[in-house]
Chains A and B, each alone.
Chain A
Amino acid sequence: MTANQKDCYHCGEVIPARREVTRHIDGKKMSLCCEGCAAVAAVIHESGLQAYYKKRTARPRPVDESTNYLPQAFSEIFDDDSLCAQLVESDGEMSVAHFIVQNMHCPTCAWLIERRLGALPGIQEVNVNFRTQKLSLRWKQEQLRLSEIVDCVQGLGYSVVPFGRNAYLETIRAQNQDLLKRLGVAGVFGMQVMVIAVALYASAWSSIEIAYEELFRRLSLLLALPIILYSAAPIFAGAVRDLKQKSATMDVPIALGLLVAFVASLSATVQSAGEIYFDSIAMFVFLQLSARYLEHGAYRRMTDRISALTAATPSYANRMSDSESIDSVEVVPALRLQVGDFVLTKPGEAFPADGTIITGRTDVDESILTGESDVIKRDVGDAVFGGSVNVTDAVVIEVTNRSDESALAAIVRLLERSNANKPRGRRLTDMIASKFAVAVVLIATVVGGFWFWFGSPAWLAHTIAILVVACPCALSLAVPTALTATINSAAKHGILLARANAVIALANADTFLFDKTGTLTENRARLASIELFGACSEDDALRIAAALAQHSDHPIAKALTSAQAESIAMAQEVRNIHGGGIIGDVDGSTYRLGSSDFIESKISGPSPRLTSVHTGLVTYLNRGEHTIARFHFDNLLRADAKELIAWLDRSRIHLALVTGDRKSEADRVGAELGISEVHWQCSPVNKLDIISERQKSGRCVAMVGDGVNDAPTLATADVSIAPASAQHIAKVNADVIILEDQLNLVAVARDIAQFSAKIMRSNTVWAIAYNLVGVSLAAAGFVPPLAAAVGMSASSLLVVGNSLRIMSYKPKLE
């Protein structure tokens, strides 16, 4: 047999021996790894969209594998009128519907779906947002049924889940638009105010006629009106709210400064005497709103990801009206399931709701709940959880909990609680602001009183100048601009900062806890060693085991076949025995491959060899009654795990490994990476306890994890980090998501965060210093409006410029 490895034309994976599928596409013979990939490749070429293969920047997963986890062929359900009415908004002629598209890998996927759907009749508008994974459609329903659209997207190898309107997300979007409108108005009118301000300042050197000066002053007032009444409205609303709650934040001193400046300028304009500050007002409102708009954008990105998560639970179920009759199956939306309904779940499907098995037995992959990759056997009477995946056999379950109340939903709720309780560092600037407001008012009163007492005619002008100069413009920008720059800079390195306020915690973290499976190790099993018991060479044992393993999709079997990619023997009469292993004939003898239970049940009397200590993942190969080999497996360490741990160790960070796995595995990984503190067999609750203990002793804890079981832990830690391969739910809870498959980006994230924290500190110190000096000068009566405007702008721009240094920062990793 030749070692002729081929890669799948569609997904690029190595095609397993003897599984090659060949198709003639565009006159060329293509090799593909599965029927799914073949079908998708054919559709893409037929639609003339083969440019996809040239331009994509990430490869998809094999189609058969990736669509397994969702119910197949459920598109006809969309012909159901009542369901359609829930999902589609129609204005008579045009219909609008939204979906979440899963399995998108790069922006080219979005392009592919848009092109393909755009070519269908009746489609008027199609928009795929790669970032939020949302597909929005406007089309004529009489020309094209919803089911045909779903079929079309599935035909390209993606899974689509209908996504009804979500009131919460709509609110976020509306807020974003509202903020942008106010910002735009402040920008347009602010520019006009500035132009006029220049003319007025120039008049100080070359006098202009009084009539024109009057005109310009009134014009400034007119142009400033939309800014103060419309654009600045949220600032005033925030200040009023804070005052009512007696919790002064940044809004209070800002609103105070704006109000004083505007009222003074208004009265000066009307009385044709005194100073006007309209230019300062315009500039200030514009800078404020810009910072808020950028902050809100980061918040919106986070909620978009949560919406993608809610779509990750299966939406359809095979309901049986009679638990005995397979003919009574009908496909219904999972949300319509009631307690007591019978549901048929086929291998590869996720359970649509919590339930109890009433017919059949199977292996269940509960990794979405527990985070560990081992499958668990479930028999009649056992409970299964919504969202976990049925791996081997079809079973019928009786629903015990509606799908929206299923375990997964329960975890989501748990997370919401953890988030609410999370000890978030109150924003430093808010704390300063609350004291600031009081101090400024006191100073202004004292100084105003002082000038009045000494009979200065300019006492009011001086008091106003103090209040205007004290407006903490630069201070209010100090942190938000640095955070926004940090988010952008991190994104360039492949790090998503989901929660901006985690930056400071990440910079301060002195303890890093790591989950093992999927975080420090890869999720796949790897053949570690072979133990031989009979007169059989290692090569032969592996060759025979791989021959049997070819007939199974179990992760262990895949590890065996990939260890022996070439010259796999042929196995005949192969049977997959439930819950144990594979029996088959290779080279004329019958072999069994499987767990010790499986092997022992087939031989008479216990074999002394098999009672030895059970460590790690093992599989046995038997010929007749003799065990000839024992295979040991482990999870591969990520390539850069060692580098990361060493780097963190050098930075004098306390490290610990926290895993749900066995002691032996945990110790092995700990020893290999040099982590001395290892906690094994931890439940999510144990993990939470470990974190709270550290937090109580005053440590700032960073948690790195990827599973659903890590999710509550991630939410409780001061800062949490999840790799891109993490479960959705873990990612939703993570403050930091490593977008590329590189673990040492954790170190990069920390380095950027530390630099960012340094910038924030210097920004804050500078802004406070500016305000102190400004207020002192104003108190002495040295600050005319021009100086106030220039000072404010200059101090704000300095803060912005300092923050921009983060954008060009190069992380130092030695």
Chain B
Amino acid sequence: MEILYLLVPMTLVIAAVIAAFFLWSVRSGQYDDLDGEAHRVLMDDDEVESHDQ
């Protein structure tokens, strides 16, 4: 069970890293326009199609 003394701090570090990553992604505006991205996924297929023509 001594492994807990390694695993527990690791939990803390990983949680902190995930939180920091999330804060960065919010700050860089990745959640500002959620609808737009949903449409953009579909539209990019069209681009390929138009190049094929």
Question: Which residues of A come within 8 Å of B, CB atoms?
Answer: 48-51, 54-55, 107-108, 110-111, 115, 127-132, 173, 176-177, 180-181, 184-185, 188-189, 192, 195, 209, 212, 215, 219, 222-223, 226
Whether the Cβ atoms of A209 and B1 lie closer than 8 Å is yes
In the complex formed, the residue of A with least CB distance to B44 is A111
Whether the Cβ atoms of A223 and B15 lie closer than 8 Å is yes
Which A residues are CB-close (under 8 A) to B36?
107, 110, 127-131
Which B residues are CB-close (under 8 A) to A49?
50
Q: Within the complex, which residue of A55, A176, A222, A226 is in contact with B46, where a contact is CB–CB below 8 Å? A: A55
Q: Mark B28-53, 1 if CB is under 8 A from A, else 0.
A: 01011101100110110011011101
Whether the Cβ atoms of B35 and A131 lie closer than 8 Å is yes
A733 to B44, CA, bound (A): 36
Q: Mark B1-37, 1 if CB is under 8 A from A, else 0.
A: 1001100100110010011001100110101110110
A110 to B36, CA, bound (A): 9
Whether the Cβ atoms of A111 and B26 lie closer than 8 Å is no
A50 in contact with B50 given A108-B43, A188-B22, A212-B1 (CB within 8 Å): yes
Interchain nearest-CB distance for A540 vs B (Å) = 50
Q: Within the complex, which residue of B5, B11, B15, B32 is in contact with A173, where a contact is CB–CB below 8 Å? A: B32
In the complex formed, the residue of A with least CB distance to B52 is A51
Q: What are 20 pairs between A and B in contact, CB < 8 Å?
A: A48-B50, A107-B36, A108-B43, A111-B39, A130-B35, A131-B33, A132-B33, A173-B32, A177-B32, A180-B26, A181-B23, A188-B18, A189-B19, A192-B12, A192-B15, A209-B1, A212-B1, A223-B12, A223-B15, A226-B19
Whether the Cβ atoms of A177 and B8 lie closer than 8 Å is no
Interchain nearest-CB distance for B36 vs A (Å) = 5
Which A residues are CB-close (under 8 A) to B51?
48
Whether the Cβ atoms of B4 and A181 lie closer than 8 Å is no
A385 to B26, CA, bound (A): 44
A598 to B29, CA, bound (A): 61
A195 to B7, CA, bound (A): 13
A173 to B29, CA, bound (A): 10
Which A residues are CB-close (under 8 A) to B42?
107
Which B residues are CB-close (under 8 A) to A48?
50-51
A618 to B39, CA, bound (A): 47
Which B residues are CB-close (under 8 A) to A129?
33, 35-36
Whether the Cβ atoms of B43 and A111 lie closer than 8 Å is yes
Which B residues are CB-close (under 8 A) to A209?
1
Whether the Cβ atoms of B33 and A188 lie closer than 8 Å is no
A49 to B48, CA, bound (A): 10
A180 in contact with B40 given A51-B49, A188-B22, A226-B19 (CB within 8 Å): no
In the complex formed, the residue of B with least CB distance to A107 is B39
In the complex formed, the residue of B with least CB distance to A47 is B50
A212 to B18, CA, bound (A): 25
Which B residues are CB-close (under 8 A) to A215?
4-5, 8
Q: Within the complex, which residue of A51, A185, A219, A222 is in contact with B50, where a contact is CB–CB below 8 Å? A: A51
- The 5 closest A-B CB pairs, nearest first, are A107-B39, A111-B43, A51-B50, A51-B46, A184-B22
